[in-house]
Structure 1
Amino acid sequence: MRRIGVVVNPIAGMGGRVGLKGTDGAVERARELGAEPRAPTRARMAVESLAKHAPDTTILTASGEMGELTVSAAGFDPDIVYAAPPESNAADTCETVRRFIEEGVDLILFVGGDGTAVDVAETLTQLAADTPMLGVPAGVKIYSSVFAVSPAAAGRIAATYTRSEPNEVMDIDEAAYREGEVRAELKAVVNVPVADGLQSSKQLSSGTIETLVEGFVEDVDPAVTYVLGPGSTVGAIKDALGFDGSPLGVDVWRDGELLVKDAREQQLLDVLGERNQIVVSPIGGQGFIFGRGNHQLSPAVIRQCDIDVVGSRAKIDDIGVLRVDTGDAALDEALKGWYQVRVGRFERRMLKVV
């Protein structure tokens, strides 16, 4: 019977839908903007999946929002190894991981983003522990290859994996990220379960996109409200449309006018028209079009829009499939299927959301 340590970062991902692109150092601002906790729901989805595949698992966790509430809600009777304060922080995550190692867990299942992954990985490194770790994606930034592609996949992997191997933990500077610059850094190499359903760490892109942009601009409809996602590919479209967009944010444009720059979820909902089109480019090396770095594009927004996927030939050749992780299981299921991805002025390629 497997013993798994579960630790939840309760504030992970809160900044996403309100346009903060992360929560490190911005919790109070996120709350002022109306952000709600995202991690507990993601954690429960993962633990419920774990219960489905391995109901006899022994779970160790921290008290309260750092794990106990979620694990109990999913039907387990957890062993509490750390009494967490009401307002927990990175130090509490690290201490919980230390307790897991002392108790000899077989796997650490953490819920958060890259910052939480770094906290767990650095603690394991300090303790010289080779215990595998696996992430439930709940943060805004998910660069590391220690995460499952979804909460449900994380639970399944935790229950069924048979071996682990070294993999990368990455993180970026959130302050620079909010200013439109990505500074990624390798933080640690840790053991991670080997299984289908893990995401790649490298967000790669290459190839020219000039003809892609030309084709998009030629097809612009003045009656459509365009919701333009983050990234360099869509950024080139923003430039061609004649406005200085937010490189890592979501902008709204219609008929020659920039309606909202770096929009939050509610601003998007307020400005949508009768005909709306989301323009997104998959993350290179991963394939995600929703749920990684663009949480402003919430289920409520997506349901009111058509979806236009764009990407360079090199990027599309590299990823093979598209992925979504909106936090809404019904919507994720509805989004599955084949999409025409614009790769040139006239050329499109068929790619499937899996």
Structure 2
Amino acid sequence: MKHFKLGFIINPIAGIGGSVALKGSDGMAMHALALGAKPQANARATLALEVLLPYKDDIVIYTANDLMGEQCARDLGFKVEVLYQAKQKHTESNDSQLTVEALLEHGVDIILFAGGDGTARDIANVVASDDDYQQVPVLGIPAGCKIHSGVYAITPKAAGRIIELMVTKELVTLTTGDVMDIDESLFRQGIVKAKRYSEMKIPSELRYVQAVKSGGKESDELVLQDIAANVIEEMNEYDDRQFIIGSGSTTAFLMSELALENTLLGVDIVSEQSLAASDVTEAELYKAITDYDGLSKLVITLIGGQGHVFGRGNQQLSPRIIRTILAQSGGSDNITILATKAKLEALNNKPLISDTGDIELDQELSGFMPITTGYKDQVLYPLASPQ
């Protein structure tokens, strides 16, 4: 029987800057490690491969050494062939590109990679530049701080589900996904400037593959004013609460209505309608919550058209942060999700996604959540753990 030839690449430092508020990992790995960040890419990749464990006798994984894929695949018991040897522990973009070249030359059926938009660009630099290899499908496991590209599955498990369909010879549509990336130097200043670099072939199942992020801000200013007014009224009513404001354009509008500076792609803390802390790290946020005498309320929004509320672009909101907030009096009422009805309708009945990296927590959060969609206006909408 012919084995399914799975090309597999992990960028070990992908997403490492997220929990320490660096907004990215490009050129920042050593700084992130010094701040106490923990690599997460291998854990994310493991979630994808675990879906394929029932088929491991039918799959051979072709990969690079150590943390670039070999260790993850061997630990799960897959047949592994190492085609590229990285020479340093902290790998660089060149290592990813050389691994791709080796995988393509070996004729893999698909390249599955774990990383962010920078990693997607590295893959595309090889795949999209050679006419002979442009038909080889590629699929990303989301593991970076920035996931604007349309070549990623919506969650690590979703990536595994797509590969499962291919291994079991189900019909899978082949389409193209845009490779996007943003300027991280501007990103750290709260400016989102996304650019399309190229495209790659991807196996497409609408349940499992994300749409390219919406880059624009909400145009319906009146609706956003109503949403902001609802939150500000609560701030006026209680002086024993601090509000943790998550990233996104909707929460940015709230901050502008408060006349406060906002970290568009970070986390800020507001107390008595004043900015108590700006662009906090996970550790700083945890200290602020545990040291505060009153309640800490989390105000977040969904990211673009993907429906993520946790685990994408807000890694500072770690499982221990969320659990600490839930443990306060009020429980889940301490989490306020803001969204316009237009944004919810754009999800086409897909649930919101909690992808914190803690499976038990994601399951605890699952269910119908009240979403603030205007002034004194809420809708119930399903929140689900990754599939």
- With the length of structure 2 as denominator, give the TM-score of the two structures: 0.88
Letter in 2 for 1:141: K
SS in 2 for 1:303: helix
Match of 2:128, SS? helix
Deviation at residue 17 of structure 1 after TM alignment: 0.4
| Match among 302, 325, 341 for residue 313 of structure 1 | 341
**Secondary structure of the residue that 2:374 maps to in structure 1?**
coil
Paired position in structure 2 for 1:199: 210
> Offset of 1:255 from its aligned partner?
2.1
For residues 372 and 380 of structure 2, the distance between their equivalents in structure 1, rounded to whole angstroms, comes to 9
2:272 corresponds in structure 1 to 255
- 1:95 lines up with 2:98 in the alignment: yes
Deviations 1:78-118 (A, max 9, x none): 10000112231101100100111101000100000011011
Residues of 1 paired with 2:197 and 2:322: CA distance?
A: 34
Query: CA-atom RMSD, angstroms?
Result: 1.4
1:337 & 1:82 partners in 2: Cα distance?
44
The alignment status of 1:344 with 2:377, answered yes or no, reads no
C-alpha distance in 2 between matches for 1:139 and 1:351: 27
Aligned residues with identical type, % of pairs: 36
Distance in 2, Cα, partners of 1:347 & 1:87: 49
Candidates 101, 111, 115, aligned match of 1:112: 115
Tell me the number of residue pairs that the alignment of Structure 1 and Structure 2 aligns: 354
Which of 42, 45, 57 lines up with 1:43 in the alignment? 45
Equivalent AA in structure 1 for residue 230 of structure 2: G
Moved more, 52-61 or 9-18: 52-61
Does 1:290 find its partner at 2:326? no
- Distance of 2:268 and 2:55 partners within structure 1: 41
AA aligned to 1:275 is L
Runs (5+) with no aligned partner, structure 1: none
Matched with 2:234 is 219
Alignment of 1:126-137 (within 5 A): 126-128=129-131, 129=133, 130-137=135-142
- Of the three residues 131, 135, 142, the one matched with 2:147 is 142
Contact 2:56 2:77 in 1 (8 A): no
Deviates more, 1:71-80 or 1:5-14: 71-80
Name the SS for the 2:104 alignment partner: helix
1:228-273 deviation digits (Å, cap 9, x = unpaired): 0112210121223342121211001122332210000000000013
Deviation at 1:77, TM superposition (A): 2.7
**Does the CA contact (< 8 Å) of 2:56 and 2:78 recur in 1?**
no
**1:266 aligned onto 2:279:** no
- Deviation of 1:154 after TM superposition, in Å, equals 1.0
Question: For each residue in 1:162-183, what CA deviation from the matched residue of structure 2 results, as whole angstroms up to 9, or x when unmatched?
Answer: 3321121111111111111111
Q: Is the 8 A contact 1:166 1:191 kept in 2?
A: yes
| Cα distance between partner residues in 1 of 2:90 and 2:194 | 28
Contact 1:14 1:36 in 2 (8 A): yes
* CA distances 1:13-60 after superposition (whole Å, capped 9, x unpaired): 000000001000111211121111110111111112222355421110
Q: Distance in 2 between matches of 1:192 and 1:64?
A: 26
